[in-house]
Homo-oligomer: A and B are copies of this chain.
């Protein structure tokens, strides 16, 4: 079977701007083609990732971007729509139905994907912050983690975001700032939350031959793992680990022929601060309860290995674009093209993208 590579990337600054979804989508596609040798005529599938209620966005994007694909449709799965669309694009290429696939994710700051209408089990409320609060309480209690330790996640990620020209905010913050920020739930402070925003990111996926033709330095999708454990939060096996993430990471690493210790750089889905240490543990990048210590070490040593662009907390979280923006960052890192965010010598990278209290997860392993 052909290898599938990322041949080009596009991304735009994440903002709170009131733009139409169609124009937000188009902007990262324009950035992609301006920054690469790829030609529009080579694209034979266009996949849009979004939670927007607007319909037929893939044909609309194709028309506005001057593309004439065969396959074109939208992919939605809340916050991991982006990596779902990338895996779908991978499968179109690996199956032989397409050779070059544009995967473009976009969201507006007021995305309808932020409200979980269906699941009143999330504490009787409809916003993800309520499940995050339950996870935070459970995680802190089980592993005796303090509020200060979890606060290191946003401090570290906001610090990284200052070197990310596309991050929504460049404001530094201290542990004190986090702890003194508004208490949104019993266990979550305002500065521990990623913020919805307007943004877009795109990748051009290609078969091995096409990737080598379209790019001087393609990055390869070496491993893919996905798991949907449930939709409802209360079906989780535990409130202090992420079952779907554990399974997805295991499958992705096995497919790539790697162990967790081989990962040089990773984008991890820190929708709320507690998600980062939980994901690190569930993926085996450290032992159970070791995530908070790993964060503290990175905080102390200014190590950028996890969430070098600032993660969701530092960069902003445009739902349908997030997974693709994560992949853009890891691609730039593996190409040694990440400027002041560069993690030295990165050869193997990982993207972790999840939805709805970690009820579903995607993990991608990328390689030079």
- Binding site of A, secondary structure by majority: helix, strand, loop or mixed? mixed
**Residues of B contacting A85 in the complex (Cβ-Cβ under 8 angstroms):** 73
Complex-state Cα separation, A134 to B68, whole angstroms: 24
* Among listed A158-166, A211-219, A227-235, A289-297, interface-contacting one: A227-235
Complex-state Cα separation, A97 to B88, whole angstroms: 10
- Decide yes or no: A228 and B360 within 8 Å by CB, A55-B78, A90-B95 being known contacts: no
**Residues of B contacting A17 in the complex (Cβ-Cβ under 8 angstroms):** none
Q: Is A342 an interface residue (CB 8 A)?
A: no
Q: On chain A, which size bracket covers the interface?
A: 35 or more
Contact B56 A231 (CB under 8 A): yes
Q: Is A240 an interface residue (CB 8 A)?
A: no
| Most B C-beta atoms less than 10 A away, residue of A53, A59, A93 | A59
Q: Is A26 an interface residue (CB 8 A)?
A: no
Contact B230 A63 (CB under 8 A): yes
* Among listed A34-42, A111-119, A175-183, A344-352, interface-contacting one: A111-119
Contact A228 B22 (CB under 8 A): no
Contact residue among B74, B81, B87, B118 (Cβ-Cβ distance under 8 Å from A97): B87
Q: Is A355 an interface residue (CB 8 A)?
A: yes
Contact A112 B228 (CB under 8 A): no
Complex-state Cα separation, A168 to B289, whole angstroms: 57
Interface residues of A in 71-104 (CB under 8 A from B): 71-78, 81, 84-85, 87-88, 90-97
Q: Is A28 an interface residue (CB 8 A)?
A: no
Q: Is A340 an interface residue (CB 8 A)?
A: no
Complex-state Cα separation, A225 to B71, whole angstroms: 9
Q: Is A144 an interface residue (CB 8 A)?
A: no
Contact A56 B77 (CB under 8 A): yes
**Residues of B contacting A58 in the complex (Cβ-Cβ under 8 angstroms):** 77, 228
Contact A226 B74 (CB under 8 A): no
Q: Is A356 an interface residue (CB 8 A)?
A: yes
**Residues of B contacting A51 in the complex (Cβ-Cβ under 8 angstroms):** 55
Q: Is A172 an interface residue (CB 8 A)?
A: no
Interface residues of A in 2-22 (CB under 8 A from B): 22
- Decide yes or no: A229 and B87 within 8 Å by CB, A1-B95, A74-B75, A355-B56 being known contacts: no
Contact B72 A228 (CB under 8 A): yes
**Residues of B contacting A93 in the complex (Cβ-Cβ under 8 angstroms):** 95
Can you list 10 contacts pairing A with B, beta carbon distance less than 8 Å? A51-B55, A53-B112, A56-B76, A56-B356, A88-B91, A90-B95, A91-B92, A94-B96, A95-B95, A97-B224
Seen from chain A, the residues whose Cβ lies within 8 Å of a Cβ on chain B are 1, 22, 46, 51, 53-56, 58-60, 62-63, 68-78, 81, 84-85, 87-88, 90-97, 112-113, 116-118, 224-232, 235, 248, 251, 355-356, 359-360
